[in-house]
């Protein structure tokens, strides 16, 4: 028993099994949680840079800002909001400085006593310098500062704490913004910004939604005229996933509504409902298969399901129209159409195969998703659905059929020439964007919030860069940072505060060697003489001389990583020491010579542009090569193969011509998607060329079938143009224009050239 006879005999059992499989797949689909990180949208050559970028101190922080026309109100609201967020457990506030922090800061000097500190300490030991310092200490005793300094005057009469203060101030050189009580302010002080650590697990989307709701409630309680907002990875996740979820619901509803309109217009028969319900059979298994392959599923891949829904019904539409027109039996008609449908399937699959060769994970997901969906659609069209269409009434000719009459050869040649010219101008003058921000969806409110943040830190993002020093262990990363720091125009700030264990021991040894017995003995005498002038008792400074022996336990050392931790654990197990440095050629050159990674926002944009251009060129060449080979094998004629590509050319010209005409800014990742139009629109060229071949069964190739197939694909693709997410929107818009252009080219231009072949 062959496959046709088997499914004819057990069609009801097969239908039951399909419904059971569908129910199981739908259950599994509802258990999935789509991922939406920027990594899936990036070529492999820049993905590593972006992943490093995401480990930068700023990216790991939650940025909370308050804005008001009244600077005092903005500052007060920032302090109030910090307390509320901390009490709600939404942030980990920076550690509060205790009253003995100045004293602890001095005691932290010994493990960080660098050669530069040694040189700066020498002049402080002269009798004149000690005498001047004692006079200053005496004045401080009678000032309000004495209550804040605690025992620092007796533990550090020489003011060596200034050496540690200089190390802390090294961070302030990276920004010229005032820092007050844990906040940065804009020049007009109308925007106050703070950066906090997030509790563990906050990156989970369920926690992201909870945070957004709680933050909104707290922000509403602030005084009138004060606006609060937050930025950071948490905000990007919340914006993107929320938009994609809304888009998925909207796209699915609109896609089915558009398919229903096509169904009503062309397929007015109750058994054709199978075509309408086809996406329900193929999309859940395709989603689960993709999830099984990649261990995750992008929300954009799910959004692409509407595209596959429109494309997958083409096979069944062709079969339905063929069965309603053919004088042959159902089995013979399907056998006649099989070669055409299989080649349509192959050309589409080859384009998805070209996408699978991309290093962009999103496109590999789309390739697997679409391949599974189209395979199921082809099997249903050839072996399952025809058994329910064995007694179709012949569809009568209509005014629509007359409207599909092609142009004359002269008119078609002129139209095609104009189309080529328009498309060429569009390719040359279209505006392309390589901005990473274009990969995220930005609402008007988000853009407003980002503009307010840029008023505080906009300059720093342009003038600073990130330096990543990699090591297999945290200690190795710190040691390499210290070696690199010696080769830079200025020492790395983090190296001075967070030394490696080896550097710590070296600094302690330097400290002890510097404070030799003779030097301490002479200094005691100098301090006693200078102190006597101001009635200081000699024993008052014993805490200072005790500290020179470095008897402080390492456990009492200041943990500067609580304020700034330069170390980040990378996914590959290595550790990166991350430093904020000026965006200058000297730092870049030193990094490249010493195996470190120097990253700036401008360079990342340049690298992204180059990487996506390469990806687009590679996929276009592969898609063209694969499909030219397939069409050449099908027709065994160069001329017929080229004629089949006329709808493809029409699609590309229409896309770029409209993008240029209407000023659409094209994200370069969309260019990687455009090769898919080759496979999608080549189907129409194959249909028409086969229709006009000598000996072809013309009634089987009804132009209304092509129009219905194209419109059903448009129903799936076109609704993406209504998506709010930037990537989905551009994919939908380019597909809408491309398939529309291909449909017009296939129906009105291509037949004029094919008729000469008849």
Residues in the chain: 758
Contact 90, 211 (CB under 8 A): yes
> Of residues 354 and 704, which shows the higher confidence score?
354
Q: What pLDDT was estimated at residue 143? A: 63
Residue appearing with tokens 């129910």: 23
Closest alpha carbon to 166 in 503, 493, 511: 493
Query: Band of the pLDDT at 757, cuts 50, 70, 90?
Result: very low
CA distance 748 to 125: 95
Contact 382, 338 (CB under 8 A): yes
Q: What pLDDT was estimated at residue 514? A: 92
Tell me the per-residue pLDDT of 464-482, one tens digit each, with 9 for 90 and over: 788 899 999 999 999 999 9
C-alpha distances in angstroms, 495 versus 29, 407, 563, 585, 657?
50, 75, 14, 21, 55
Tell me the per-residue pLDDT of 588-627, one tens digit each, with 9 for 90 and over: 888 888 888 888 877 777 787 778 778 878 888 888 888 8
Q: What pLDDT was estimated at residue 173? A: 47
Tell me the CATH architecture of domain 62-93+182-231.
2-Layer Sandwich (3.30)
Q: What pLDDT was estimated at residue 11? A: 74
Range with lowest mean pLDDT among 71-80, 264-273, 483-492: 264-273
State the greatest distance between any 2 C-alpha atoms of the chain, in Å, as a whole number: 122
Mean local confidence (pLDDT), 246-262: 77
Classify residue 725 by burial, with Cβ atoms within 10 Å: 0-12, 13-18, 19+: buried
Question: Is 312 a residue whose pLDDT tops 70?
Answer: yes
Classify residue 642 by burial, with Cβ atoms within 10 Å: 0-12, 13-18, 19+: middle
Query: Band of the pLDDT at 681, cuts 50, 70, 90?
Result: confident
SS (H, E, C) 593-623: HCCCEEECHHHHHHHHHHHHHHHHHHHHHHH
Query: In 308-352, which ranges are E strands?
Result: none
Q: What pLDDT was estimated at residue 120? A: 92
Tell me the per-residue pLDDT of 660-677, one tens digit each, with 9 for 90 and over: 888 887 776 666 667 677
Tell me the per-residue pLDDT of 325-344, one tens digit each, with 9 for 90 and over: 777 777 888 888 888 888 88
Tell me the per-residue pLDDT of 546-576, one tens digit each, with 9 for 90 and over: 888 765 566 667 777 777 778 888 878 888 8
Residue appearing with tokens 């030219």: 628
Classify residue 548 by burial, with Cβ atoms within 10 Å: 0-12, 13-18, 19+: middle
CA distance 58 to 209: 21
Helix axes 601-635, 444-463, angle to 10 degrees: 120
CA distance 242 to 234: 12
Six-digit token pair at 146? Answer: 């004495």
Question: What values do phi and psi take at 739, rounded to 5?
Answer: -70, -35
Q: What pLDDT was estimated at residue 202? A: 46
> What's this model's pTM, rounded to 2 decimal places?
0.69
> What are the residue boundaries of the structural domains of the chain, listed by start?
62-93+182-231, 101-175+504-551
Tell me the per-residue pLDDT of 376-423, one tens digit each, with 9 for 90 and over: 889 888 888 888 887 766 555 544 455 567 788 888 889 999 999 999
Question: Is 630 a residue whose pLDDT tops 60?
Answer: yes
C-alpha distances in angstroms, 176 versus 187, 231, 457, 459, 739?
10, 21, 9, 9, 53
Contact 385, 378 (CB under 8 A): no
Q: What pLDDT was estimated at residue 370? A: 87
Mean local confidence (pLDDT), 236-265: 75
Q: Average per-residue pLDDT in the chain? A: 79
Query: Band of the pLDDT at 442, cuts 50, 70, 90?
Result: low
């Amino acid at each position: 028993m062959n496959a046709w006879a088997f499914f004819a005999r057990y069609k009801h059992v097969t239908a039951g099994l399909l419904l059971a499989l569908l129910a199981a797949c739908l259950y599994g689909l509802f258990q999935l949680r789509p991922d939406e990180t920027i990594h899936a949208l990036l070529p492999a050559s820049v993905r590593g840079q972006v992943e490093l970028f995401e480990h930068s101190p700023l990216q790991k922080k939650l940025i909370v800002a308050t804005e008001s026309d009244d600077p005092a109100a903005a500052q007060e609201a920032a302090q109030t909001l910090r307390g509320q967020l901390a009490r709600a457990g939404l942030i980990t506030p920076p550690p509060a400085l205790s009253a003995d922090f100045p004293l602890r800061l001095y005691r932290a000097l010994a493990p960080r006593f660098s050669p530069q500190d040694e040189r700066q300490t020498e002049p402080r030991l002269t009798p004149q310098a000690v005498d001047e310092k004692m006079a200053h200490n005496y004045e401080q005793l009678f000032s309000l500062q004495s209550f804040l300094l605690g025992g620092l005057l007796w533990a550090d009469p020489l003011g060596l704490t200034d050496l540690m203060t200089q190390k802390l101030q090294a961070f302030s050189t990276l920004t010229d913004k005032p820092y007050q009580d844990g906040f940065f302010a804009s020049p007009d002080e109308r925007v106050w910004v703070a950066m906090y650590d997030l509790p563990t697990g906050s990156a989970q989307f369920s926690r992201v939604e909870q945070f957004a709701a709680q933050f909104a409630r707290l922000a509403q309680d602030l005084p009138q005229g004060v606006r609060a907002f937050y930025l950071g990875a948490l905000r990007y996740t919340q914006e993107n996933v929320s938009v994609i979820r809304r888009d998925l619901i909207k796209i699915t509803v609109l896609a089915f509504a558009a398919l229903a309109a096509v169904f009503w217009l062309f397929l007015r028969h109750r058994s054709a409902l199978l075509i309408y319900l086809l996406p329900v059979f193929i999309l859940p298994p395709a989603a689960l298969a993709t999830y099984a392959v990649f261990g995750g599923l992008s929300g954009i891949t799910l959004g692409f399901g509407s595209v596959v829904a429109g494309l997958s019904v083409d096979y069944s539409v062709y079969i339905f129209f063929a069965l309603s027109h053919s004088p042959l039996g159902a089995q013979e008609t399907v056998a006649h159409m099989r070669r055409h449908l299989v080649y349509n399937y192959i050309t589409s699959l080859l384009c998805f195969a070209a996408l699978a060769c991309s290093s962009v994970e999103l496109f590999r997901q789309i390739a697997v998703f679409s391949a599974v969906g189209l395979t199921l659609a082809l099997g249903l069209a050839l072996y399952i659905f025809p058994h329910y269409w064995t007694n179709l009434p012949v569809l009568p000719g209509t005014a629509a059929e007359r409207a599909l009459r092609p142009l004359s050869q002269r008119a078609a040649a002129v139209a095609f020439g104009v189309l080529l010219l328009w498309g060429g101008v569009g390719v040359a003058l279209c505006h392309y964007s390589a901005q990473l921000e274009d990969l995220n969806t930005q609402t008007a409110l988000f853009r407003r919030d980002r503009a307010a943040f840029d008023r505080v830190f906009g300059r720093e993002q342009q003038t600073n860069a990130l330096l990543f020093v990699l090591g297999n262990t945290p200690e190795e990363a710190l040691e390499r940072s210290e070696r690199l720091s010696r080769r830079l125009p200025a020492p790395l700030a983090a190296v001075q505060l967070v030394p490696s264990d080896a550097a710590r021991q070296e600094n302690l040894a330097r400290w002890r060697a510097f404070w030799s017995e003779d030097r301490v003995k002479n200094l005691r005498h100098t301090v006693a003489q200078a102190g006597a002038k101001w009635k200081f008792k000699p024993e008052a400074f014993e805490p200072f001389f005790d500290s020179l022996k470095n008897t402080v336990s390492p456990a009492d050392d200041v943990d500067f990583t609580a304020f700034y931790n330069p170390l980040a654990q990378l996914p590959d197990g290595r550790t990166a020491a991350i430093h904020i440095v000026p965006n200058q050629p000297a730092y870049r050159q030193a990094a490249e010579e010493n195996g470190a990674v120097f990253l700036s926002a401008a360079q990342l944009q340049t690298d992204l542009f180059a990487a996506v251009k390469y990806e687009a060129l590679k996929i276009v060449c592969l898609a063209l090569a694969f499909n030219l080979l397939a069409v050449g094998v099908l027709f065994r004629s160069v001329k017929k193969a080229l004629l089949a590509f006329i709808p493809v050319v029409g699609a590309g010209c229409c896309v770029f011509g409209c993008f240029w005409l209407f000023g659409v800014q094209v994200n370069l990742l969309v260019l990687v998607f455009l090769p898919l139009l080759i496979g999608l629109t080549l189907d129409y060229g194959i249909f028409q060329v086969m229709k006009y071949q000598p000996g072809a069964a013309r009634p089987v190739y009804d132009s209304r079938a092509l129009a219905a197939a194209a419109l059903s694909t448009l129903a799936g693709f076109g609704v993406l143009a209504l998506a709010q997410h930037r990537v989905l929107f551009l994919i939908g818009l380019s597909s809408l224009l491309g398939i529309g252009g291909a449909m017009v080219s296939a129906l009105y231009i291509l037949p004029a050239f094919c008729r000469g072949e008849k």
